[in-house]
Structure 1
Amino acid sequence: MRLVVIGNGLVGSRFVEDVLARDTTGKYDVTVIGAEGCEPYNRVLLSEVVAGRYDLTSLTLPSPDHPRLTVLRGTSAAAVDREDRVVTTTDGSRHRYDQLVLATGASARIPPLPGLDHGGGTLPVGVHALRTIDDAREIIAATLNARRAVVLGAGVLGIEAASALAQRGCPVTIVHPADALMERQLDTAASTVLASAMPHVGITPRIGVGAEAAIVADGRLTGIRLTDGEVVESDLLVVATGTTANLGIAHDAGLPCERGVLVDEAGMTADRRVFAIGDCAQPPEGATGLVAQGWDQARALAERLTGTSAPARPDRNGSGLDVVRVKAHGLDVVTMGVCGGARPEDRRQRTLRLSDPDAGRHVEVVVEGDRLVGATCVGAGQVAADLVAAYTRRTPVPRDPAHLLLNALATSAPMASGEPETLPDDATVCRCNGVTKADLSAAHACGARSVEDLAAATRATTGCGGCRDEVCGLLDWLDTHAPAPSPT
């Protein structure tokens, strides 16, 4: 059968890898159509590249070398004829399919701000999004001469981008019109603690005020005028105001779309031969925008198409797919499950919090029955590690849930649930990829002796990167305690 995949990014490339690994009977010949001319890469870590903690080459994802795989890089799909089952590319070539997977992703959303449209859809000099490798390169180059930067949007990406620019030595103002930073994950109290820590790392927060216009002279950005009348001088602007799903080809093909292509729990669109996964898809449970959800969709669809298991999804409550860890130097933020100021009230849930703004610390836990169903941790890295372990492993909480907060009072105490020797073999270390301690131990026993070796063998650290410290700690422990690999 002819399987065509439109999109060769994080989710599309993972789906191809998964389907070929499971297609042991040789059912599919796979053709991938990818608009970018490079190998697939981990765009989740682009802010880490800007910060200087990763180089661009380390973001490249492994691509399978398979006799039944054809990858067309630097080629864009122009149209899908669902009746004839043909995908036409911009170079005029035609690719017939028996089944089609849309993994077209999303693009950075540029707000309709006066001054940003420089004609022909181009942006003024000094204005950038952060969505592609080219974006990262351009931002790094711009920091060499920038005197002052502004970041629009204080979601996860905006805060990570602001931190990255500050680490490059560029003072940053982050502008966010909502009443709380990261309002999808943080309430006002948690946001206040996070905001109070920002000036210590070179970031000035402006919360509850938006951007009114970009000030441009001779085609070059010189500042941002805010809705309260203040003008922030700036020669570098990074726009982090969300993404827009790439729906053009799906919409033109007559597939039902809202914020994304409408799909069922198995990723199927209104056409039983066409599927959608990743940022371009809108599943019944809603899209989170997190890479773990897209990879879960890729795995489940690969299993469905190859008949290797049931297509049912795991329960996301406590699965670890919704754990958010902000990658920002000096700003320690971890959230999971039920969190944020806009969450609906549920009388079955009990919320306990410890807020200590003077110490730069805020911890909140949400308990339902004997399970932790959500948590927010700002400035409390060790208790966050314990709570993530309890959340993802669905560990029963103490009879008095207040004990979950006690570690926040003793940040120098060791993490009982996170130390390698006490970590169960089935504990998930890399939540994006579902890699357990046992998986890493097995790879180590087979000769993996570096983080890069473990990543190649298990995919650990290749998602959001938040597990890198845990993997390094486990690797150090394995080097000391594990037996040497058996000679071959």
Structure 2
Amino acid sequence: MTRVLVVGAGMVGARVADDLLAADSAGRLDVTVLGAEATTPYNRVLLSDVVAGRYAASEIGLPPLPHDRLAVHEGVTVASVDRADRSVTTSDGRRLRYDFLVLATGARARVPDLPGLRGGEGGALPAGVHPLRTLGDATAVVAASRTARRAVVLGGGVLGLEVATGLRRRGLPVVVVHPGAGLMDRQIGSQAADVLARSLHDLGVGHRLGRGASEVVTTTGADGRRAVEGVRLSDGEVVPADLLVVTAGTVPDTDLARGAGLAVGRGVLVDEHSRTADPRVFAVGDCAEPPEGGTGLVAQGWAQSARLAELLTSGTRPPAPAPTPAGDDVVRVKAHGVDVVTMGVSGGADARTVALSDPAAGRHVEVSVVGDRLVGATCIGSPDVAADLVVAYTRRTPLPTDPARLLLTALAGEPVARVPVTEMPDEGVVCRCSSVTKGAIRAAVADGAHDVAEVAARTRASTGCGSCRADVCALLAALTPADAPA
């Protein structure tokens, strides 16, 4: 047997194990997964939904992976890798050998180096301060929100807005502190950011833009423990808070790779097949730095997993990935009360771009077209238009060459040429995150799947961002025999 050891049981690590065993028709692989968290693999994308109360912590687990050649160990961390011996040493002193090692250690929350935030080097965070990267973080934020009076979210990117609107949904006054000139400034332009800021204000979410945090203000209780009481900004203003959620980005977790002598940049340096300089060691997901650069999106990690499975089971190198596969860069912000969707690249040199910005209505729609294809769009406050644009972008539907006509037609309530999911061909992709086709869902239903959970267990559809859930439900309703169990 060939021993494959996967370090990391997150969304990508779990997918590696699943892909390997699914591709191993010869039954040659024995797969072991080590997860640092003492919990079964879960959907990290939905952590902000846990904070908002849309999901319970128990509801975001990934479908189980039962297999007689798979062992999953939870709550186990790896202390070191001995590449010469092809073994790892766990934190409890065990030594596990491998033929191939896959590092899927992910990333950890970036906690800024601010006065008052750490109690000395490596010290604990003050009470009331929480990052958001793990399920434990999410449950801690939820618990803190029950007694907090005022919250500050540090970081105005996608996760920061999801957390802020989620806390507001729980009734907390919230202020977002962001050093950039506009919210989500990595994804959207200034006009769209202005509309987004106004929409958040209308929801009761405050913001401080262009002024970074300079200090976390704390108070010390009688027990000697520090607790947050506010955030001082670069201009001297103190924003009061007894709950501070840090969403200031992530840092690839490369400590294990660095300790093993592997080359590390921002992430673990790998080739287009996720191979490190050691042909026995691979790195995938957020901890890796592939030639095309890391996107931070789970779709990239899942694509790496599929190529790795093909390489290790067939011995042949699959084609190198395209720089930006169509649809892999659609970003949906799960912010309660405001709809934000971005995709592709708006305003490219060869593109024709038009925008309609209506701050009073909380609406901004911007589209970029090259030829008769949509290459980029930003849509705020118009979910129906966003749905049409996502379909046009991901399915490369031919469009009017005049982007103004496309925009005005969509805003007038006339849909972009969109095929209902029930009328799509079987090769049409329903779940972009997992590349699940309508035909795969049809086969799952024919095999006895009667609900979304059973379809997910068979196909992985809806286990990523969750945006395809409505389409999966529509297909279930259309494909399930009338006499099947409800």
Question: TM-score band, normalised by the shorter chain?
Answer: over 0.9
Q: Is the 8 A contact 1:101 1:276 kept in 2?
A: yes
3-state SS, counterpart of residue 288 of structure 1 = coil
- 1:342 matched to which residue of 2? none
Q: Distance in 2 between matches of 1:485 and 1:137?
A: 41
Equivalent position amino acid for 1:84 in 2: D
Structure 1 residues 125, 67: CA separation in 2 closer, same or farther (over 3 Å shift)? same
Q: Distance in 1 between matches of 2:55 and 2:205?
A: 21
Task: Confirm whether residue 242 of structure 1 aligns to residue 243 of structure 2.
Answer: no
Q: Distance in 2 between matches of 1:137 and 1:94?
A: 33
Structure 1 residues 68, 421: CA separation in 2 closer, same or farther (over 3 Å shift)? closer
Equivalent position amino acid for 2:31 in 1: V
Q: Distance in 2 between matches of 1:52 and 1:449?
A: 26
Aligned residue runs from structure 1 range 12-411, under 5 A:
12-119=13-120, 120-218=122-220, 219-307=226-314, 310-315=317-322, 317=324, 319-339=326-346, 346-411=348-413
Q: Is the 8 A contact 1:447 1:485 kept in 2?
A: no
Structure 1 residues 293, 416: CA separation in 2 closer, same or farther (over 3 Å shift)? same
Task: Confirm whether residue 3 of structure 1 aligns to residue 4 of structure 2.
Answer: yes
Aligned residue runs from structure 1 range 431-450, under 5 A:
431-450=432-451
CA deviations 1:233-264 (Å, max 9, x no partner) are 11000000000011001011111111100111
Q: Is the 8 A contact 1:261 1:280 kept in 2?
A: yes
Report the alpha carbon displacement of residue 156 of structure 1 after superposing the two structures with TM.
0.8
Equivalent position amino acid for 1:206 in 2: R
Q: Distance in 2 between matches of 1:215 and 1:469?
A: 45
Report the alpha carbon displacement of residue 132 of structure 1 after superposing the two structures with TM.
0.9
Report the alpha carbon displacement of residue 320 of structure 1 after superposing the two structures with TM.
1.4
Q: Distance in 1 between matches of 2:325 and 2:275?
A: 25
3-state SS, counterpart of residue 367 of structure 2 = strand
Q: Distance in 1 between matches of 2:95 and 2:483?
A: 50
* Bigger Cα displacement from structure 2, 42-51 vs 437-446: 437-446
Identity score, percent: 58
Structure 1 residues 365, 309: CA separation in 2 closer, same or farther (over 3 Å shift)? farther
Q: Distance in 1 between matches of 2:65 and 2:283?
A: 21
Report the alpha carbon displacement of residue 417 of structure 1 after superposing the two structures with TM.
1.2
Q: Is the 8 A contact 2:12 2:302 kept in 1?
A: yes
Identify unmatched segments of 5+ residues in structure 1: 340-344
Q: Distance in 2 between matches of 1:401 and 1:259?
A: 38
3-state SS, counterpart of residue 192 of structure 2 = helix
Q: Is the 8 A contact 2:356 2:364 kept in 1?
A: yes
Report the alpha carbon displacement of residue 112 of structure 1 after superposing the two structures with TM.
0.6
Report the alpha carbon displacement of residue 318 of structure 1 after superposing the two structures with TM.
5.0
What's the TM-score once normalised by structure 2's chain length? 0.93
Equivalent position amino acid for 1:106 in 2: A
Q: What is the aligned length?
A: 478
Report the alpha carbon displacement of residue 285 of structure 1 after superposing the two structures with TM.
0.8
Report the alpha carbon displacement of residue 474 of structure 1 after superposing the two structures with TM.
4.1
Report the alpha carbon displacement of residue 162 of structure 1 after superposing the two structures with TM.
0.6
Q: Distance in 2 between matches of 1:13 and 1:67?
A: 15
3-state SS, counterpart of residue 310 of structure 2 = helix
Structure 1 residues 447, 316: CA separation in 2 closer, same or farther (over 3 Å shift)? farther
- 1:427 matched to which residue of 2? 428
CA deviations 1:176-210 (Å, max 9, x no partner) are 11112111111101101111100222211221111
Equivalent position amino acid for 2:89 in 1: T
Report the alpha carbon displacement of residue 308 of structure 1 after superposing the two structures with TM.
8.0
Report the alpha carbon displacement of residue 63 of structure 1 after superposing the two structures with TM.
2.9
3-state SS, counterpart of residue 172 of structure 2 = coil
Q: Is the 8 A contact 1:318 1:392 kept in 2?
A: no
C-alpha RMSD over aligned residues: 2.0
Q: Is the 8 A contact 2:406 2:416 kept in 1?
A: no
3-state SS, counterpart of residue 457 of structure 1 = helix
Equivalent position amino acid for 1:51 in 2: A
Q: Is the 8 A contact 1:417 1:423 kept in 2?
A: no
3-state SS, counterpart of residue 84 of structure 2 = coil
* Bigger Cα displacement from structure 2, 64-73 vs 266-275: 64-73
Q: Is the 8 A contact 2:397 2:417 kept in 1?
A: no
What's the TM-score once normalised by structure 1's chain length? 0.93
Equivalent position amino acid for 2:248 in 1: T
Report the alpha carbon displacement of residue 316 of structure 1 after superposing the two structures with TM.
5.1
- 2:223 matched to which residue of 1? none
Report the alpha carbon displacement of residue 414 of structure 1 after superposing the two structures with TM.
5.5
Identify unmatched segments of 5+ residues in structure 2: 221-225
Q: Distance in 1 between matches of 2:422 and 2:100?
A: 47
3-state SS, counterpart of residue 194 of structure 2 = helix
- 2:465 matched to which residue of 1? 464
